Chains A and B, each alone.
Chain A
Amino acid sequence: MEAVVEQSITRDAPVHLEGLGKEYGHFTALKALDLTVAQGTSLGFLGPNGAGKSTTIKIMTNLIRPSRGRASLFGIDVRREPTRALARIGAVIETPEFYGYLSPVETLAYAGRLRGMSSKDLHNRSEAVLKEVKLTDWADHRIQEFSKGMKQRLAIAQSLLNEPDLLILDEPTSGLDPRGMAEVRDVIKSLKDQGRTIFMSSHLLGEVQEVCDDVALLNHGELLIRGSVRELSRGADTSLIQATFLLSATPQDLEALATLPGVEEVKASGDSTVDLRISGGEEGQARVLEAMIGRGLKVITYRPLGSSLEQLYLDRIQESDRL
């Protein structure tokens, strides 16, 4: 009985992908992806170019057909019932173009009318989302005058228009300046705080770490890892640490460091700075620091070079590329 209930919850989840595959001629973009995103989760969908991220998102939003398997949103098959499946979502896919002859307000009205929003709702929501993406001053200007960054802001605005239960974002900060990126991340975080489900692909690992609870890593159309950001960051086997000492490290010090348990590689990167590749996750890092202090090395700073998630990402991608 419990198994039946669990199966039903999985199928009715905001995102449920089952054996999803896609071929373009002889090229396999997606092999057999199984992925479920539970209500209220914000999932970072990671992978290098050509990994199959955009293909997955395009299948989820009915832009392309899967070669096999199925994609359901809230338990509704996207291919069979696209109108019902897409009713509760908002999406930004790549950097969409808009009709240059329309203004942002008119563009939002077009999307809103197709979704059956009332004039009052449309007016209120358009005002709110344009304010959220800082396009209020441009609300009545023709989009043909807009830069790529402004179009990306408008894309975010239209995805929020219907207060979607599920937000599907494909590289949402692409084309934005650093301030715009931070603003969009804040918008996404506030949506996450409201309990909305977010499915976001990104190349920016820092962005995913900041915004998402869970990550799924894809390469060559296959899912390599799926888990919570915290667990994966902790469980990353190797990490790159930079240590700075009060006095320059001697060749003997470097040799000694290389022999410490857990240290896989030592490289001097300055007079008193050393880069260490350490295995054993966070515990391994702590052990090496203790051992260095125990040997009388005066450590001033001890900091990760890049995140452990980044290290995990690179390790798994390299591993998958070798196969």
Chain B
Amino acid sequence: MTPSPLAQIVTVASYEIRKYIRGRRLLGMLILLGLIVGLFVGLPPALGIKYASTPDAFVSTFATFSGLLVVLGGVLFAADALVSEHEKRTGYFLFPNPVRREVLVLGKIAASLLVCTAVLSLYYGAAAIAALAITGSLTWDVGLSYVYTLGYMTAVVGVAYLLSALLKGTVAATVLTFFLFTLIFSIIGGILPRANVEPWFIPTSVGFVPDPAISLLVFAAYAIAGGVLAILLYRRRELAS
């Protein structure tokens, strides 16, 4: 008796997470995260510089790098998830099982979101603990910044899956995901105002102010559109070679 799609999604997600753990991608990411936190907390006293005096200012130094962590998360935990089944021929094992392609995509997306959320939670958790220890207080804005980063992460993961379903090679999918969010969107967001177009819909240009709700909606739109298109494309993608 074939299990329910939900049970199959859980199975796929659990094996994807195992891949990230055993493939040492997660370990690499955690080492990078530890390095960033260590530098932010350890470097100022070593150089005789004072820490920021307010919790918002202290956490904002961490938040500056959260965007890069999110993009790295998208590259390491999402961009090659679909395309690698074709390129590495593991699809010949996976696809003849009684499981729908959309279930496979949803299971993989769930794994990517869980791993990226865990990494970002650790990062923000470390920042919050450090802020509390050093400044003696915390504000709700720290939490809002965390939610905003998670929203951005869902957008990156959604687009990364779209590219993974669309492109033929893992290198192309990972490189394009990286440069799309570090370079291409930034260039577009920088040029649009010159044509009197506000770049509120460009994920890297979506500002925290004036309205965080709109920013979160934009991120959600990218995440949903990316995910849905990835499913539609992957359902039609053939394993012919």
A269 contacts partner chain B, Cβ-Cβ < 8 Å: no
A101 with B240: CB separation less than 8 A: no
B168 within 8 A of A: no
> Which residues from chain B contact A135 at a C-beta distance below 8 Å?
none
- Given contacts A97-B89, A97-B90, A114-B8, whether A58 and B97 have CB atoms under 8 Å apart is no
Q: Is B3 an interface residue (CB 8 A)?
A: yes
Chain B window 71-86, contacts with chain A (Cβ cutoff 8 Å), 1 for yes, 0 for no = 0000000000000000
Structural contact, A24 and B240, CB atoms closer than 8 A: yes
Q: Which among B23, B93, B96, B100 is the interface contact of A101 at CB below 8 angstroms? A: B23
**Given that A24-B240, A63-B238, A101-B19 are contacting pairs, would A84 and B93 also be in contact in the complex, using a CB cutoff of 8 Å?**
no
**Partner of A83 from B18, B23, B92, B100 at Cβ < 8 Å:** B100
Contact between B239 and A58, CB atoms less than 8 A apart:
yes
Q: Does A102 contact B (CB under 8 A)?
A: yes
B97 touches A114 (CB 8 A): yes
Are B238 and A65 within 8 A (Cβ)?
yes
Asked if A156 is at the interface (CB within 8 A of a chain B CB), the reply is: no
Within 8 A of A (CB), among B87-107: 88-93, 95-100
CA distance A111 to B93 in the complex (A): 8
Q: Is B64 an interface residue (CB 8 A)?
A: no
Binds B, one of A85-93, A230-238, A306-314: A85-93
Task: For the complex, give the distance between the alpha carbons of A83 and B11 in Å.
Answer: 16
| Chain B residues touching A, majority SS | loop
Contacts of A62 in B (CB 8 A): 95-96
Contact indicator per residue, chain B 224-241, by CB within 8 Å of chain A (1) or not (0): 000000000000101110
Across-interface contacts of B238 in A (CB, < 8 A): 58, 63-65
Q: Which of B2, B19, B95 contacts A84 (CB 8 A)?
A: B2
Q: With an 8 A cutoff between CB atoms, is B208 at the interface? A: no
The interface residues of chain A lying within 8 Å CB-to-CB of B200 are none
* CB–CB B98/A82 < 8 A: yes
Residue of chain A at shortest CB distance from B87? A97
**Given A86-B98, A99-B19, A116-B2: A110 in contact with B11 (beta carbons within 8 A):** yes
Minimum C-beta distance from A311 to chain B (A): 33
Task: Please indicate which of the listed interface residues A84, A113, A158 has the most CB atoms of chain B within 10 Å of its own CB.
Answer: A113
Contact B18 A102 (CB under 8 A): yes
> Quick one: closest A residue to B19, CB to CB?
A101
- Asked if A98 lies at the interface with its beta carbon under 8 angstroms from chain B, I say yes
User: Are the C-beta atoms of B3 and A89 separated by less than 8 Å?
Assistant: no
Binding site for A on B (CB under 8 A): 1-3, 7-8, 11-12, 15, 18-19, 22-23, 88-93, 95-100, 236, 238-240
With contacts A63-B238, A99-B90, A111-B97 known, what are 19 further pairs, Cβ within 8 A?
Answer: A58-B240, A61-B95, A61-B96, A64-B239, A84-B2, A86-B97, A91-B96, A93-B96, A94-B92, A95-B92, A98-B93, A99-B15, A99-B19, A101-B19, A114-B8, A114-B99, A116-B2, A116-B7, A168-B96
Sample 14 A-B pairs with CB under 8 A, ordered by A number.
A63-B91, A63-B96, A63-B239, A64-B239, A64-B240, A83-B2, A84-B2, A87-B98, A107-B93, A110-B11, A114-B8, A114-B12, A116-B1, A116-B2
